């Protein structure tokens, strides 16, 4: 008996005992999970095809391990523009083993469909952000703007560059 299930935006053909690497699930390692998005079930004699899902069909799987995939490098470049960017990405995956395919969950005892959730363990601890002290800005005093009068402008002493006479260069004698 095999089934086609949908998880993480992808479809997988599975049968009992299969090992798969799927995108990270909501449970940690050591738990079990039920996939209720079953698209097709075939037992050798009968084939159940969903429209789009098979009603009441369930696939039970055990989560064996949570791990990170190999790094994929993304490189962007625009020629003659001095633009280059390199980014890396590592997808978090779950290694699962298919335990049982149930075509109709209503006929299966509840003990077979029990789901144990192992605690989800964060891969890296997150340190708290340090607190930043914010200095208060000093209030700006409103000072009256003084207008310069013509007498004040005339009384202002001139700079030395304005009073000095420009130097005249002497022309070199031609030979």
pLDDT band at 107 (very low <50, low <70, confident <90, very high): confident
pLDDT digits (tens, 9 = 90+) for 39-78: 999 998 989 998 899 999 999 999 999 999 999 999 999 9
Question: Average per-residue pLDDT in the chain?
Answer: 83
Residue 100: per-residue pLDDT:
92
Q: Is the pTM of this model over 0.75?
A: no
Residue 175 has pLDDT above 60, yes or no: no
What contacts 32, CB < 8 A, 6 or more positions away? 60, 61, 62, 63, 99, 114, 115, 116
Residue 147: per-residue pLDDT:
67
DSSP 8-state code for residue 107 = G
d(Cα 95, Cα 142) in Å, to the nearest integer?
69
The percentage of residues in the chain with a pLDDT greater than 90, rounded to a whole number, is 49
106 φ, ψ (degrees, to nearest 5): -75, -20
Give every strand in the sheet of 92-102, ordered side by side.
Answer: 19-23, 92-102, 58-68, 32-35
pLDDT band at 5 (very low <50, low <70, confident <90, very high): very high
Residue 161 has pLDDT above 90, yes or no: no
Residue 160 has pLDDT above 80, yes or no: no
pLDDT digits (tens, 9 = 90+) for 29-50: 888 999 999 999 999 898 999 8
Contact assessment for residue 23 and residue 93, using Cβ atoms and an 8 Å cutoff: yes
Residue 90 has pLDDT above 60, yes or no: yes
Q: Quick one: average pLDDT of 116-142?
A: 69
Kindly tell me the burial class for residue 52, based on how many C-beta atoms sit within 10 Å of its own C-beta (0-12, 13-18, 19 or more): exposed
Contact assessment for residue 23 and residue 99, using Cβ atoms and an 8 Å cutoff: no
Helices (H), 4-158: 150-155
């Amino acid at each position: 008996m095999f089934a086609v299930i949908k998880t993480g935006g992808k479809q997988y053909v599975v049968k009992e005992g299969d090992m798969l690497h799927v995108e990270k699930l909501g449970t940690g390692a050591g738990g079990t999970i039920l996939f209720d998005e079953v698209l097709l079930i075939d037992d050798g004699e009968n084939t159940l095809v969903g429209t789009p899902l098979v009603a009441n069909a369930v696939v039970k799987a055990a989560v064996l391990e949570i791990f990170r995939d190999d790094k994929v490098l993304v490189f962007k470049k625009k020629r003659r523009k001095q633009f280059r960017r390199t980014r890396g990405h590592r997808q978090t995956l779950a290694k699962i083993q298919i335990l049982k395919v149930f075509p109709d969950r209503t006929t299966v005892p509840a003990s077979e469909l029990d789901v144990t959730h192992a605690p989800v363990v964060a891969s890296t601890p997150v340190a708290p952000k340090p607190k930043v002290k914010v200095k208060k800005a000093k209030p700006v005093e409103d000072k009256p703007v003084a207008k310069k009068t013509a007498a004040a402008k005339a009384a202002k002493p001139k700079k030395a560059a304005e009073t000095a006479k420009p130097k005249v260069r002497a022309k070199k004698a031609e030979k």
